[in-house]
Amino acid sequence: MAGRGEEQMQMKAIHYAAAAALALAIGLMGCGGATVASQEQGGKATVTKRAFGKTADGTPVDLYTLSNANGFEAAITNYGGIIVSIKTPDRDGKLGDVVLGFDNLDGYLGNHPFFGALIGRYGNRIAKGRFTLDGQVYKLAVNDGANSLHGGIKGFDKVVWQAREINSPDGPSLELKYLSKDGEEGYPGNLSVTVVYTVTADNSLKIDYKATTDKATPVNLTNHAYYNLAGQGDVLGHELKLFASRFTPTDAGLIPTGELRSVKGTPFDFTTLTPIGARINADDEQLKRAGGYDHNFVLDSGGGKLAQAAEVYEPTTGRVMDVYTTEPGVQFYTGNFLDGTIKGKGGRVYAKRSGLCLETQHFPDSPNHPEFPSTILKPGVEYHTTTVYRFSAR
């Protein structure tokens, strides 16, 4: 079913491809490309670009807004590949921003919990910041207690990516490229990464991740957007369904023990739509360790093909977010470490549990768990995963 869904997205956007090709032919999509536009279903699918600020060393940063004919839009910056906003209609057709973050680049340059960020080389934790590969021990940058988290001290979320607007058959797209050099944050190999964000005709944000390497290395790319489909308040009233009958319990350091535990009869059973707050404060050791949900769920699809991973429904606005991925896991996180000290968009204070994350991924600490699906990318092989966040209302 997921394969057919992806094909439908392509068919729905075929008129965009024709129009974009025509725009290319007449020079509207030149390399200067401040704006790309095409006709789509009587409206316009566009990519717009504007200056977003500069990094501390003076490197200019841009913000790209991808929009479809329905008014659905996603704004992404080439600093860290960060999703700055996603605007999608509620059941009354009112557009609202459903992503936590900041109004300007300065907010993202400061300390924040990976709002909207593109994560690499390795999403999630690697125990004690080390792993052994082909008989050699690699020591990584440690930034989460004794562990390495989300790529280290300066992961992919803190670099300026090379960006260009591209002619995609699915809709308006932004291509980001980055070369992670051998030894960066302790990882082996020169890793060439390409990530493409696409807004499709059916109000989806599609993310394609690709990478190649000249030396065997762990790779686990994801996006760390925090979603609140109501646009304000906490997410405890959001209802969640996860297409996962097992999860990976963790030790006190939030590192997987290696067990794949059934969710049946536990607070981790989201196999039917369930309010996130229904059991989040249950007397459960796993919940207490993480201060809520911060766990990897083992998707029943097994990965390798595009399949549904999650459904989120927000009752007051009617907004729905369906998540599809080729990955074998998804990290469900409820913003447990948000504490009200960060002020975001419009001065909004981000309190505990004011956003949720659904980070599609391979399992945490996989390089140290040979029983988990492998995250080792070898020379001559292309890493390629796809995740789709599809928005609607009911």
Of 184, 359, 362, 369, which one is the catalytic site residue?
Answer: 359
* Pair 367, 126: CB distance under 8 Å: yes
Q: How far is the C-alpha of 132 from the C-alpha of 54, rounded, in Å? A: 38
Output the six-digit token pair for 31.
């390399």
Nearest in space to 313 (alpha carbons), one of 254, 270, 342: 270
The kind and range of the H/E element at 261 are: strand 261-262
Q: What are phi and psi of 150, to 5 degrees?
A: 55, 40
End-to-end alpha carbon distance in the chain = 21
CA distance 253 to 364: 12
- DSSP per position, 23-63: HHHTTTT-TT-SEEEEEETTEEEEEEEEEEEE-TT--EEEE
- Rounded Cα distance, 249 and 286, in Å: 7
Q: Which of the residues 112, 150, 224, 362 is marked catalytic?
A: 224
Q: Alpha helix (H) ranges present in 259-366?
A: 285-290
Q: Are 365 and 124 in contact (CB under 8 A)?
A: yes
359 part of the active site: yes
Clarify whether 369 is annotated catalytic. no
Tokens standing for residue 82: 């960060």
Q: Which residue has the tokens 């109000």?
A: 203
Q: Are 239 and 275 in contact (CB under 8 A)?
A: yes
Active site residue ranges: 224, 359
